[in-house]
Copies of this chain bind each other. A is one copy, B any other.
Amino acid sequence: MRISELSAASGVPLPTVKYYLREGLLPAGERTARNQADYDGGHLARLRLIRALIEIGGLSIADTRAVLAASDDPELPLNEMMGAAHEAVTRRVAPNRGDPAWSDARALVVEMAEQRGWHIEPHGPALDQAADAVAAVLTADMPELHPLIDVYFDAVEPMAHREVEAVLSMGTADQVVRGVVIGTIVGESLLNALRLLAQQSVSIKLLDPDKLPR
């Protein structure tokens, strides 16, 4: 197909497609005339992946390029490819390494994960983010909230099994990477929204039983 057809099929505006070509995110089509090139289904799939990375994932062009490079490397084992995608979409936090409360929180997360037999990446941003949140819970002077750390640990374990299995069932490497990105970002948004809906429902039931649905 021509570049205009690629644009129409993907819903990505033509100038944006050209921008991705210039940035090297999308490989050039096969040249068919002096000023014309031919694109195929592979280009369309690639364009959908780029869109997911940039528009839903909010990734920068540089991060997008890194994730695509990982998904293009035939030598990279599947778990390292997933790791690269995961890493790119994790929210970065500036860890308060100097703060003893932060170091204690980080040690607690590692300990609780090890008790559950989890394999933790010791230098990943997810661990920093978890330490940040645990430190906030522990320093907030609200002991009633402390048991929730266990509640979240317990909740995410079966969830992660279903998520990883779903993504791995998607087949080819670039589909898996796209699945990790969509699943991580969109799944997070969905999980957070449903958690709020459930909290509202429980609050109404506990505080205002008249509002229960008939």
A182 CB–B CB distance under 8 Å: yes
| Residue of A79, A83, A136, A179 with most partner-chain B CB within 10 A | A136
Contact of A166 among B96, B118, B148, B159 (CB under 8 A): B148
Scoring A96, A158, A189, A208 by chain B CB atoms within 10 A of each residue's CB, the highest score goes to A189
Say if the beta carbon of A21 comes within 8 Å of chain B.
no
User: Do residues A142 and B170 form an inter-chain contact, with CB atoms below 8 A?
Assistant: yes
- Copies of the protein in its oligomer: 2
Chain B residue numbers with a CB within 8 Å of A52 are 136, 140
- Chain A interface residue number, banded: 35 or more
In the bound complex, residues from chain B placing their C-beta under 8 Å from that of A134 are 190
Beyond A77-B208, A203-B164, is A196–B126 a contact (Cβ under 8 Å)? yes
Q: Is the CB of B144 within 8 A of A195?
A: no
A164 touches which of B156, B167, B182, B206 (Cβ 8 Å): B206
Question: Given the interface contacts A79-B208, A182-B137, does A201 sit within 8 Å of B162 by beta carbon?
Answer: no
B-contact bits for A9-34, CB 8 A (1 contact / 0 none): 00100000000000000000000000
Q: A139 is contacted by which of B48, B133, B140 (Cβ under 8 Å)?
A: B48
Is A107 part of the contact surface with B, judged by Cβ < 8 Å?
no
B152→A191 contact, CB < 8 A: yes
- A200: CB under 8 A from chain B? yes
In the complex, the answer to whether A183 meets B145 with C-beta atoms within 8 Å is: yes
Asked if residues B197 and A191 are in contact (CB atoms below 8 Å), the reply is no
Are B189 and A159 closer than 8 Å at their CB atoms?
Answer: no
Contact of B190 with A163 in the complex, beta carbons under 8 Å: no
A164 close to B197 (CB less than 8 A): no
Q: Are B204 and A119 in contact (CB under 8 A)?
A: yes
Contact of B187 with A148 in the complex, beta carbons under 8 Å: yes
B148 and A162 contact, CB distance less than 8 A = yes
A147 within 8 A of B: yes
Cα A166 to Cα B182 with chains together (Å): 32
Q: A155-B159, A198-B156, A212-B119 are in contact. Are A207 and B82 (CB under 8 A)?
A: yes
